[in-house]
Structure 1
Amino acid sequence: MSFTLAVCAEMVFADLPLLERIEHIHEAGFAVEIWGWTDKDAAALAATGAAFTSMTGYVAGDLITPDGADELVRTAAASIAFAQEIGCPSLNLHGTGLGEGGLPLRPVEVVTGDMWLAARRTLGRIAELGERHGVTFVLENLNTEVDHPGTPFARAADTLALVSAVDSPHLRMNLDLYHAQIGEGNLVELIRRSVPHLGEVQVADVPGRCEPGTGEVRWPFVARALVDAGYDGVVAMEAFASGDSHLALERFRQVFTIDPQQGCRP
């Protein structure tokens, strides 16, 4: 069993233009992830030869208001067209649109029962859209303590509940373990509960959001837990480099490269 290892090009090789970042990641043997697509050239991205595993799957909208839901579905459809140009099979969603600094455009203090039902309906529409076009949307958990205060449906428990309620292969969970460590902890049990619904796993250490091995999380143990739970999909480093970006990528690779006899490298 092995993971597909990917690196978010938005966060490493920060002194280089995006296309050069992608080329470095690709040459190092990793797949690539990007965030928003509206300021990017699909043909130029595709010409790098990189494999793209994930990108932001909407431009605007939210899960809970009628107009916001319509806007989310409309811009998700536009995102699919870009994703297909670069061969990206997975499109990322959040509980609401995020603006400058990752802050929610529509912060929510209390999530009501009606909001849960509205989110379920909106995500059902998104899953149907994904099915029609042969792509998968993934709903990412976030943390509200440090990075994204006021974001509804932010906890991993929330995204898991919504994804399992829709119950479609075209809507999966993006389990971001950086956000989960800050907001919930208990990562191994969270992995075990989430694995039937996972479409992707993202990692960064805590505190600091840098590569694995720079913070408090015991990443070899977490990697082994993913293997033991039966996960063999994408693991993406959505993290800043604590120093040299090449070294950060190698630290990530070491932790999540699996020895079939011994499990994860220590």
Structure 2
Amino acid sequence: MAKFSACIEMLFVPETDAFAQRIHLAKGEGFDLVEFWLWSNKDLDAIERALAETGVKLAGIVAEPFAELTRARDHDRFLAGLEKSRDVAVRLGAPILICQSGPLLEGIERARQHDALTTAMARSADVLAGSGVTLALEPLNDRVDHPGYYLTSTAEGLAIADAVNRPEIGLTYDMYHSMVMDEDPETVLAGGLSRIFHVHLADHPGRHQPGSGRLPIKQKLAWLEAQGYAGAVGLEFKPTGSTADALAMMRGSLG
């Protein structure tokens, strides 16, 4: 069965505004893994205490700052922040940092933006080398949630990871974003699972819990497991009601 990670930016939000307390609530729902987005706006001491008190592990956090990695002149700013993000990840025990490509830039050939993003990943590998922390670039959909985003194609993301060819660099595969873009996981991930460091899921439409929409999530998770994917699956969805009710629906739909 999948190793589920509770994204506490979206789960347990109706239940408490005390961010670190969500780690305790996740443990109470049976989670051994949690994840969140930005670290710079969080009480890291409180998070560290909550992780220690519960024994819950941190699956991943977002690499800061958000940057236009499709634009070469923004790379130095990102890499300086990546050093700090790496250190926070090491402190909290998170093996994965998640990053985004940035926007599709007007007036610049797509091939140049692709090359800039590839260079950013290669330079990031140098920052992370030897730390035990990896960087997982995330394709997103531009149809519903992220208009103007550059990296909407899983195939292109895998091509970038293959071109960099470093163990520090891979992808976060968000099943929701992928299927909103009409990708089929079994097709786009064929032969590429070694580059998938982390998985996210939500149902569509609405980006709510599995079982609330029409995506064949149970089938696709079973395929991932059969192919040997052993990483975490982040539950990055908006509960339609209480988190407990949403999780009950999810568990029922995934059987």
Give your verdict on TM over 0.5: yes
Farther off after superposition, 15-24 or 201-210: 15-24
2:100 corresponds to which residue? 94
Offset at residue 155 of structure 1 (A): 2.1
Mapping 1:1-266, distance limit 5 Å: 2-15=1-14, 16-17=16-17, 18-30=19-31, 31-49=33-51, 50-96=56-102, 106-109=103-106, 112-253=110-251, 265=255
Unmatched segments (≥5 aa) in structure 1: 97-105, 257-264
> For 2:238, what is the secondary structure of its paired residue?
coil
Farther off after superposition, 118-127 or 203-212: 118-127
Identify if the C-alpha distance between structure 1 residues 166 and 183 changes in structure 2 by more than 3 Å, giving closer, same or farther.
Answer: same
TM-score normalised by the chain length of structure 2: 0.90
Structure 1 runs, 4 residues or longer, greater than 3 Å off = 250-256
> For 1:192, what is the secondary structure of its paired residue?
coil
CA-to-partner distance for each residue in 1:109-150, whole Å, 9 max, x for gaps?
465212211211110011121213220110111000111111
Identify if the C-alpha distance between structure 1 residues 76 and 252 changes in structure 2 by more than 3 Å, giving closer, same or farther.
Answer: farther
> For 2:4, what is the secondary structure of its paired residue?
strand
User: What CA RMSD, in Å, does the superposition of the two structures yield over aligned residues?
Assistant: 1.8
2 CA distance for matches of 1:107 and 1:180? 17
Offset at residue 65 of structure 1 (A): 2.4
1:100 corresponds to which residue? none
Unmatched segments (≥5 aa) in structure 2: none
1 CA distance for matches of 2:113 and 2:218? 38
AA partner of residue 42 (structure 1): L
AA partner of residue 13 (structure 1): F
Partners of 1:175 and 1:200 within 8 A in 2: yes
Partners of 2:66 and 2:99 within 8 A in 1: no
Matched residue count: 247
Offset at residue 172 of structure 1 (A): 1.1
2 CA distance for matches of 1:111 and 1:180? 24
> For 2:189, what is the secondary structure of its paired residue?
helix
AA partner of residue 83 (structure 2): A
> For 1:75, what is the secondary structure of its paired residue?
helix
TM-score normalised by the chain length of structure 1: 0.87
1 CA distance for matches of 2:204 and 2:217? 11
CA-to-partner distance for each residue in 1:151-189, whole Å, 9 max, x for gaps?
112322221221121112111110001100111332222
Offset at residue 239 of structure 1 (A): 0.3
Partners of 1:111 and 1:152 within 8 A in 2: no
Partners of 2:67 and 2:101 within 8 A in 1: no
AA partner of residue 161 (structure 1): A
CA-to-partner distance for each residue in 1:34-75, whole Å, 9 max, x for gaps?
001111121210111231101101214222323311111111
Offset at residue 32 of structure 1 (A): 0.6
Q: What fraction of aligned residue pairs are identical, expressed as a percent?
A: 27
Partners of 2:210 and 2:250 within 8 A in 1: yes
> For 1:48, what is the secondary structure of its paired residue?
helix
> For 1:22, what is the secondary structure of its paired residue?
helix
